[in-house]
Amino acid sequence: MGLFKKLLATTIGLAMWQTAFAADVTLRFHQMLPPQATIPSKAIVPWAQKVEKESGGRIKIQHFPSMQLGGKPSDLLDQAKNGVVDIIWTVLGYTPGRFPKSEVFELPFFSGLAEPASRAFQEYVEKHAMDEFKDVKLIAVHVHGPGLIHSKDPITRLEDFKGVKVRGGSRIVNIMLEQLGATPVGMPVPAVSEGLSKGVITATTIPWEVTPALKVQQLVKNHTGFAGEQGLYTQTFAVAMNKAAYDKLPADLKKVIDANSGSDTAAMFGRAMDEGDKRGLDMAQKAGNKIHMLDAVETQTWRRTAAAVRGIWYKEVAGKGIDGPKLAAEAEALIEKYNKKK
């Protein structure tokens, strides 16, 4: 009987110890990319570890990559809004028409390095577009680095682009592709590899950082970049949390989430993008692929042709009571501000 009591006491003590050190809150973080991709491995996991550490282990974040909890990439924002999951990372362009003011950062030849541009985008959203995120608790927004083209056939001048079936990742990027003479094919980034291998597309618009995870450097042998600091296009992203999941946190744990939200978090995600661009380029070079960097004269031809996208966007958002030229000027001023600090 004494042994039984000892065993019982040990079991109860162990259970109490486990309870004492168990997380108070478990948050499910859902996103579309495989775990080895840049943002999951170099931004989401470090962010989650930082939150867990600063909460003293009271917050646990479960990471579900590759849409493991179901749905399509375009569902992610509503999954956070409706509480299907607690936190998501998504591409804003996957829900067209929902973020008209945020779209300004997707205009052609608008931004370059992701870290300063992500700080600019975060400040811009906080000043001008928080109403677009009213259904969620916004943790951070960010952008990727200079956008370029990855293609099966070489593209060294604008004429080469005519009629090419190109994956576009957002409404604005697809409008730009049309203006440049290509045939846009909208699809989320996880579908790019299959699209290239099956010939649904023969080129894609993605930044360097995601090419290794999708094996794009194996599926195509040509990559076309542009002169100057700005990329051909930019996509916008957000990390967002279900409002009810945030609201029910105790005040001290809300402070942990708040401390890991905003400008520094935006910059961390942007920095991961910039570092990933270097890795992606290096892998393409090691694969013996052709890197076509267009000179200033040819780049200017693309710039002039793509400039029509601004007028189209200005007209569209004017119909929603939005002053497009004013917002574009504000956004460009913020990009310049943070570029000077880099």
Q: How many structural domains is the chain composed of?
A: 2
User: Is residue 121 in a domain?
Assistant: yes
If asked whether residues 174 and 226 sit together in one domain, one would say yes
Q: Which residues of 193-207 are buried (b: 16+ CB within 10 A; e: fewer)?
A: bebbeeeebbbbbbb
Return the SS3 of 226. coil
If asked whether residues 157 and 222 sit together in one domain, one would say yes
If asked whether residues 185 and 54 sit together in one domain, one would say no
CATH code for the domain of 334 = 3.40.190.170
If asked whether residues 294 and 331 sit together in one domain, one would say yes
User: Is residue 9 in a domain?
Assistant: no
User: Is residue 296 in a domain?
Assistant: yes
Cα dihedral: 239, 245, 250, 254 (round 10):
10
If asked whether residues 47 and 83 sit together in one domain, one would say yes
The pLDDT value recorded for residue 285 is 97
* Of 322, 323, 309, 312, nearest in space to 110 by CA: 309
The pLDDT value recorded for residue 6 is 52
Domain boundary among 252, 276, 300: 276
Q: Mean pLDDT of residues grouped by 10 in the chain (342 residues)? A: 51 44 86 96 98 97 98 97 98 95 98 98 98 98 98 98 97 97 96 97 97 96 97 97 98 98 98 98 97 98 98 97 98 97 76
User: Is residue 271 in a domain?
Assistant: yes
Q: State the pTM of this model.
A: 0.92
The pLDDT value recorded for residue 175 is 97
Domain boundary among 276, 297, 327: 276
Query: What residue numbers bound the domain in which 170 lies?
Result: 148-233+287-341
Separation of alpha carbons 329 and 194, rounded Å: 39
If asked whether residues 174 and 247 sit together in one domain, one would say no
The pLDDT value recorded for residue 341 is 84
If asked whether residues 227 and 241 sit together in one domain, one would say no
Provide the residue type at 310 as one letter: R
If asked whether residues 122 and 172 sit together in one domain, one would say no
If asked whether residues 22 and 68 sit together in one domain, one would say yes
User: Is residue 106 in a domain?
Assistant: no
* Of 208, 201, 236, 200, nearest in space to 224 by CA: 208
If asked whether residues 48 and 140 sit together in one domain, one would say yes
Cα dihedral: 271, 127, 247, 251 (round 10):
80
Q: Does residue 196 contact residue 158 with C-beta atoms inside 8 Å? A: no
* Of 39, 45, 3, 20, nearest in space to 144 by CA: 39
Separation of alpha carbons 90 and 134, rounded Å: 16
Structure tokens at 1: 């009987």
User: Is residue 3 in a domain?
Assistant: no
Domain boundary among 276, 296, 329: 276
Return the SS3 of 342. coil
Count CB neighbours of 122 within 10 A: 26
* Of 177, 114, 107, nearest in space to 331 by CA: 107
If asked whether residues 128 and 252 sit together in one domain, one would say yes
User: Is residue 102 in a domain?
Assistant: no
If asked whether residues 222 and 265 sit together in one domain, one would say no
Residue with the two structure tokens 């270097």: 278
